A and B are shown apart, each in its own frame.
Chain A
């Protein structure tokens, strides 16, 4: 048990020491599979099973269809009801969008990757 705890502690410590450079691919496929699906497509939300608000983010094809309504390539404005509006909303009754995800905040690094993907033309959205 002691060795298990030590191993776990070492792995946990190591996991907080990643690179400052975020070189993850700025593509629809990568963002859907690694950020949107695990964070937003939970059973009762934007999974294809529940499709809350008609939004499906659990797989690349459905995410592409959905995000065409929420993303304009190159447009990173945050007050127009687009994807970034939901991800960056400060919340509150005066905010233009409700902050998403509802149940666990998204990491700034993930939001930044999505921001850069949109800014650079939202690769993969028009396939």
Chain B
């Protein structure tokens, strides 16, 4: 063991990188789909529908029965069950050098659907220090098209406001600093209208009233995305959050461009954020810039590679508060249920002049129940 390399094997306690399963927006244009083509939720995460199961089977090297527990446990047609188990291990430098292994997600999910109405709920173990069992999402939903995956959706309950591109990796700056961090689900009322050519989402939300919150404040979020051609989308986003000590105003744009000849998808999101801290003069309100640009190469049906850059400046008025990340994510779907990932990042503060350089490389094992 090197004297400069402090090795800590943290089996449970290190949860700073833990996460939850989201959809991969990278699939949208390459497979000519909306998020709801594969997911039950209009935000495009969580439980899969029939088409999602078929996709999970097709997009894996050894396509096994994609249903809950490989179809061994039959459920009535109105009930969909699922869940996710995720672990990660690897190396983190911040600049402390750490070897780490930790659970990311232990969660069950279910949806009961009766005609146009459905009830959704998750329950899982969120980690040490937090409540022992935690329901990240639970909501009631009405959808206009009971047997389809487009049209109007209205839901009430606890869920993540639909905002921006919703990258699966919560370490992406547009998620972490962009108003939708890990466990940023809140109680609210959401309305979505989804068609193949466009989708519009609006969510009003309140601060978590029952538990100690992860995110503070009441507010509203808006996201609209239009497919401008077979190979591209553009989107706009806005969010306002008012908390006891400050408020945040987010405005942003998104874009996706699919280069079919290369099987390459470019995804970009940029936000401009004004944070007003009430105790400070208005002139001191930080002006922030957040962005991600990710190129996703679909090497085969079951191997996907992301190369991305991220930029976050916590106050553009002050020098050396900007940070940039270079990301490399490799995903391999072994079976319909088993996914292996390698996530790596190098993070520079003010291009190396603003603080220590950070880095991590983590191998993930994901089992979808």
Inside 8 A of B193's CB, which chain A residues have their CB? none
Interface stretch (choices B55-63, B80-88, B140-148, B315-323): B315-323
Taken together as a complex, chains A and B put the C-alpha atoms of A48 and B32 apart, in Å, by 41
Residues B214 and A43 in contact, CB atoms below 8 Å apart: yes
Inside 8 A of B281's CB, which chain A residues have their CB? 25
Interface size on A, residues (CB 8 A): 57
Residues A44 and B318 in contact, CB atoms below 8 Å apart: no
Inside 8 A of B351's CB, which chain A residues have their CB? 16
Interface stretch (choices A68-76, A77-85, A90-98, A114-122): A90-98
**How far in angstroms is the closest Cβ of chain A from B28?**
16
**How far in angstroms is the closest Cβ of chain B from A106?**
7
Residues A27 and B97 in contact, CB atoms below 8 Å apart: no
Residue of A nearest to B309 (CB): A12
State the main secondary structure of chain B at its contact with A. Answer: loop
Inside 8 A of B3's CB, which chain A residues have their CB? 92-93
Chain B interface size range: 35 or more
**How far in angstroms is the closest Cβ of chain B from A90?**
8
Q: Report B's interface with A, CB cutoff 8 A.
A: 3-4, 6, 13-18, 92, 94-98, 126-130, 171, 176-177, 181-184, 211-214, 216, 232, 234, 243-246, 253, 255, 257, 266, 268, 270, 272, 275, 277-281, 284, 286, 289, 291, 293, 311, 313-323, 347, 349-351, 354-358, 360
Q: Report A's interface with B, CB cutoff 8 A.
A: 1, 4-5, 7-8, 11-12, 14-20, 22-25, 27, 29-30, 32-35, 38, 42-45, 47-52, 58-60, 89-93, 98-99, 101-111
- The 8 A-B residue pairs with the shortest CB-CB distance, nearest first, are A44-B15, A91-B96, A48-B212, A15-B313, A43-B183, A99-B96, A29-B279, A18-B319
